Amino acid sequence: MKINILVAEIGSTTTVVNGFHEVDSTCPRFVGQGQAPTSVTEGDVNIGLKGAIDDLKNNLNIKELEYDELIATSSAAGGLRMTVHGLVYDMTVRAAKEAALGAGANIKYITSGKLRKSGLKKIKEINPNIILIAGGVDYGERDTALYNAELIAELNLNVPVIYAGNIENQEEIKEIFENTKSELYIVDNVYPKIDDLNIEPTRKVIQDVFEKHIIHAPGMEKIRNMVTGPIMPTPGAVMNASKLLYEDIGDILALDVGGATTDIHSVTEGSDEVSRILISPEPVAKRTVEGDLGVYVNMKNIVEMVGKEELEKNLNINSKELEELIENHKPIPRTELEKDFVEELALHAVITGVKRHAGIFRHLYGPGGKKTVAEGKDLTQVKYIIGTGGALTRLPNRLDMMKQIALSNKGMELLPNKDAKILIDNYYIMASLGVLAKEHPKAALSILKKSLEIK
C-alpha cells in the first residue's frame, strides 16, 4: 500500500503515526493510526517510530506501507525548552512569554529586568533549546536588553538566541553574539509600543529554530534518517490547527487534557464591550499549559485539589477502594470504575485549566465610585469548544465534562457561554493536522472538519 504522507507524533511516552492520502485532491483521506512506546531512553527515537508504523500496518492488515513523505510533531526529550528574559514583567516579558507558549514551548525560566549571577547559573542548569531576549518598546529603554545579551553571550552556550526587543539595539546585539557559539536570530519587537502585542513573527521563528535544532536532543539524533519534512513542537501544531479552524468557523477553544499537563488553546478576539475595559492587551491566539494538571503523571495533584472525601462521594466508594484506585492507577483505564475515576480527574483539569486561561471582571473602587475593568483573555465569544488528546477523545462522558465549563461560571469570569457547541477530535489527529497544514492547509482543514463532525 502507498500513501502520500505519514505524520509521526513523538510524545514523551508514546509515538503515534497517522496516515493521510490524496492530500492534493478535493477528497483527502485519513487512512489510519498506529502507536508504540517512544524509545528516547534507548538513544534512538526511530525504534519507537518503526514500532508505530508496524502497528499501523497491522491495523490496516497490510504487509508493506510506502509513503511519499514523513513529517512529525515532537514533545519528546523534554519538548521545546526555553528561557525568556525581558524588561517589565507585565509588558515585554509577558509578550515574549505569549510568543513562546504559542509556538509550543515549555518555558523553564522567566526573568524581568537585569539578570543576576543566580539567573545565569539557572540558565546553564536548564540547558534550554532556545533563549529568548526581549525588552524595551521601539525607541524606548535600551540598556537592560543589551546588558542581558552581554551576560548570556559570555556564557558561550551552544544554544540558539532569539532577540525580539527594541529595534534600536539590533546592530549592537549582532556584535555581542558575533564570536560566540550561539546562533543569533533577530525578529521584530514582541512589544513595539505600549498595549501592542506583536508575537506572530517571534512565534514563527521559534518553531523554525526548534525544527533545525531538535535533531540534537537526546535520542533524536537519527530522526532525520526517517523524517523527511517539517518537525514542529506538538503544542505548536495544535495551535496551528486551531488557527486554521478559526479562519473557517470562527472563535474556538481547544482543550487537551494529557497524562502530565493540560493545554488550553484559544483563538478569539473577544467582545468589543470587554475590549473597551481590558486593562492590558491579550493575543488573539493564546496558549496556556498547566503543569500540575495531568490525569496520570500528576494524578495525585488533582486528587489533593478535589479532596479524597469528595472523590469517594462522587464515585460512591469507600476510602480503601479509593486508595487502591490511586495505588494501581494506569495510563489507560480499563474497568468502569477506573474510567469513572479518570473522568473525575479530567473534569477538574478541564474546569481549572480553562479558568486559569480565561480572564475575569474586577470591581475597582475610587473617589468616583465603583469602576468595572476586565483582566485576561475574553472567551465570551467562543462558538466552539474542542476536545482533543487522550482523555477528551476517549472517555465516555467527555461531552458532559466540557459542558460544565459554562455552568461553572460564577458571574465574574470571562468564560464561554452555554450556547458554545462541543466538538470532539474523534480521530485524535489535531496535532498531526497542524503540521500537515504547513504544506497542505486545505487537506488539513477538510480532514479536521471530518474528525470534528462539522458538516
- CATH number of the domain that residue 337 is part of: 3.30.420
Residue with cell 514542529: 232
Task: Render pLDDT for 426-444 as a digit per residue (tens, 0 to 9).
Answer: 999 999 999 999 999 999 9
Q: What pLDDT sits at residue 321?
A: 93
> Across-strand partners of 256?
263, 388
What mean pLDDT do residues 222-237 have? 89
% pLDDT > 70, the chain = 100
Residue with cell 514500532: 51
Provide the mean pLDDT of the chain. 93
**Distance of alpha carbon 132 from alpha carbon 199, whole angstroms:** 12
Question: Are 322 and 369 part of one and the same domain?
Answer: yes
CATH number at residue 42: 3.30.420.40
* 435 is a domain residue: no
* 450 is a domain residue: no
What mean pLDDT do residues 174-199 have? 95
Reply yes or no on whether the pLDDT at 98 is more than 90: yes
Question: Are 49 and 126 part of one and the same domain?
Answer: no
Report the DSSP pairing between strands 130-133 and 80-86.
parallel
Reply yes or no on whether the pLDDT at 268 is more than 80: yes
Q: What pLDDT sits at residue 8?
A: 94
Question: Are 66 and 130 part of one and the same domain?
Answer: no
**Distance of alpha carbon 242 from alpha carbon 253, whole angstroms:** 8
Q: Any idea what DSSP says for residue 92? A: I
Question: Are 279 and 323 part of one and the same domain?
Answer: yes
Question: Are 212 and 249 part of one and the same domain?
Answer: no
* 96 is a domain residue: yes
Question: Are 202 and 254 part of one and the same domain?
Answer: no
Total number of domains in the chain: 3
Q: What pLDDT sits at residue 333?
A: 87
Contact residues for 239 (Cβ-Cβ < 8 A; gap 6+): 102, 103, 104, 265, 285, 287, 434
Question: Are 287 and 422 part of one and the same domain?
Answer: yes
Q: What pLDDT sits at residue 369?
A: 84
% pLDDT > 90, the chain = 79
Task: Render pLDDT for 147-168 as a digit per residue (tens, 0 to 9).
Answer: 999 999 999 999 999 999 999 9
> Across-strand partners of 133?
85, 163
* 375 is a domain residue: yes
pLDDT band at 19 (very low <50, low <70, confident <90, very high): very high
Reply yes or no on whether the pLDDT at 260 is more than 90: no
pLDDT band at 308 (very low <50, low <70, confident <90, very high): very high
Question: Are 137 and 90 part of one and the same domain?
Answer: yes
Reply yes or no on whether the pLDDT at 237 is more than 90: yes
Question: Are 256 and 161 part of one and the same domain?
Answer: no
What mean pLDDT do residues 313-331 have? 92
* 200 is a domain residue: yes
Greatest Cα-to-Cα distance within the chain, rounded to the nearest angstrom: 78
DSSP string, 149-193: HHHHHHHT-S--EEE-S-GGGHHHHHHHTTTSSSPEEE---SS-B
Q: What pLDDT sits at residue 62?
A: 94
Residue 220 three-state SS:
coil
Reply yes or no on whether the pLDDT at 267 is more than 90: yes
Q: What pLDDT sits at residue 93?
A: 93
Q: What pLDDT sits at residue 298?
A: 87
Q: Cβ(165)–Cβ(172) under 8 Å?
A: no
- Report helix angle 299-306 to 308-315, nearest 10: 90
What mean pLDDT do residues 303-308 have? 94
Reply yes or no on whether the pLDDT at 140 is more than 90: yes
Strands of 29-37's sheet, edge to edge? 29-37, 14-21, 2-10, 66-74, 231-233
Reply yes or no on whether the pLDDT at 43 is more than 80: no
Q: Which residue has the higher pLDDT, 268 or 221?
A: 268
Q: Quote the domain boundaries for residue 377.
A: 240-429
Q: What pLDDT sits at residue 40?
A: 74
**Three-state SS across 361-394?**
EEEEEECCEEEEEEECECCCCCCEEEEEHHHHHH
Q: What pLDDT sits at residue 185?
A: 97
Reply yes or no on whether the pLDDT at 13 is more than 80: no
The predicted model scores a pTM of: 0.90
Q: What pLDDT sits at residue 37?
A: 86
Rg (CA), the chain: 23
Question: Are 300 and 163 part of one and the same domain?
Answer: no
Reply yes or no on whether the pLDDT at 404 is more than 90: yes
* 434 is a domain residue: no
* 136 is a domain residue: yes
> Across-strand partners of 278?
374
Reply yes or no on whether the pLDDT at 12 is more than 80: no
Any idea how long the chain is? 455
Q: What pLDDT sits at residue 389?
A: 86
Q: What pLDDT sits at residue 39?
A: 79
Q: What pLDDT sits at residue 374?
A: 94
CATH number at residue 113: 3.40.50.360
**Distance of alpha carbon 76 from alpha carbon 72, whole angstroms:** 11
What mean pLDDT do residues 440-451 have? 97
Reply yes or no on whether the pLDDT at 326 is more than 80: yes
* 247 is a domain residue: yes
Q: What pLDDT sits at residue 331?
A: 80
Question: Are 332 and 378 part of one and the same domain?
Answer: yes
Question: Are 262 and 375 part of one and the same domain?
Answer: yes
Q: What pLDDT sits at residue 344?
A: 95
pLDDT band at 224 (very low <50, low <70, confident <90, very high): confident
Reply yes or no on whether the pLDDT at 327 is more than 80: yes
Q: How far is CA 230 from the centre of its chain?
A: 17
What mean pLDDT do residues 371-380 have? 94
Q: What pLDDT sits at residue 390?
A: 83
> For the stretch 331-367, what's the b/e string if a residue is b when 16 or more beta carbons lie within 10 angstroms of its beta carbon?
eebeeeeebbbbbbbbbbbbbbbbbebbbbeeeeeee
What mean pLDDT do residues 319-343 have? 91
pLDDT band at 90 (very low <50, low <70, confident <90, very high): confident
